[in-house]
Amino acid sequence: MTEKDKKVLENVFLANRPVACKICNGKLFYIGSGKYKCASCETEVYDDFGKVKEFLELNGPSPALLIAEKTGVSLDIIDLFLRKGRLEIIENSKYYITCEKCGCAIRYGRFCPHCARELLGGIQALFHEDTGECPKSSPKLKEGKMHFLHKK
């Protein structure tokens, strides 16, 4: 899935959030974890994440295909929740998602711990290269001396 596809999915998820109560058309207030409450009739309404979370709380760990079938939330949106770390696959599951870099099995997120550390190291090196700063472990920073360009 490309970055463009992921952005489209995020926009679909955001567009599917409830804004008005289906019963009385009252204003909805976000309670948390995908749950909204109507200010007028106090009806609870769920967005896609809330539907998935509610299903998992009632039924326990389940395959994504079953979750999608029972909640009406698309598999792509469920995958988005896994990639964003909002959902997590249980340990010892026979189903996993894959690391976007090396392809190994992971329970949530985009990268396995090894690839995440590797990517972070590369980003830190680029930051220090672009800014001219030394890494925190560098002896120059530990000396605590100020250096001047044209000291007389």
| pLDDT score recorded for residue 3 | 75
149 within a domain of the structure (yes/no): no
The verdict on residue 31 lying in a domain is: yes
* pLDDT score recorded for residue 17: 87
The rounded distance, in Å, linking the Cα atoms of 40 and 69 is 31
Total-model pTM: 0.71
Neighbours of 26 (CB within 10 A): 16
Q: What is the pLDDT along the chain (152 residues), one digit of tens a residue?
A: 677 777 877 887 777 888 899 999 999 999 998 999 999 999 999 999 999 999 999 999 999 999 999 999 999 999 999 999 999 999 988 889 999 999 999 999 999 999 998 888 877 776 666 555 555 555 444 455 655 566 55
Contacts 24+ apart (CB under 8 A), 9-16: 9/76, 9/77, 9/80, 10/80, 12/77, 13/47, 13/48, 13/49, 13/77, 13/80, 16/47, 16/48
Task: Give me the pLDDT at residue 4, please.
Answer: 77
Number of domains in the chain: 1
Q: In this structure, what token pair is assigned to residue 31?
A: 């309670």
Does a structural domain hold residue 103?
yes
Tokens at residue 125, please? 């090196």
Helix (H) or strand (E) holding 38: strand 35-38
Structure tokens at 121: 């190291």
CA distance 68 to 103: 24
User: Residue 95 is part of which domain span?
Assistant: 3-143
Radius of gyration over alpha carbons of the chain, in Å?
Answer: 23
Q: What is the pLDDT of residue 8?
A: 78
Predicted local confidence at residue 134, as pLDDT: 57
Does residue 150 lie in a domain region?
A: no
| Nearest CA-CA partner of 125 in 139, 137, 114 | 137
Q: Which two tokens stand for residue 65?
A: 């295909």
Q: Look up residue 32 and give its DSSP letter.
A: E
SS3 87: coil
**Per the domain annotation, does 121 fall within a domain?**
yes
For residue 61, the number of C-alpha atoms closer than 13 Å in the C-beta half-sphere is 11
Residue 152 placed within a domain: no
Question: Would you say residue 41 lies in a domain?
Answer: yes
Q: What are the residues facing 106 on neighbouring strands?
A: 97
151: in domain: no
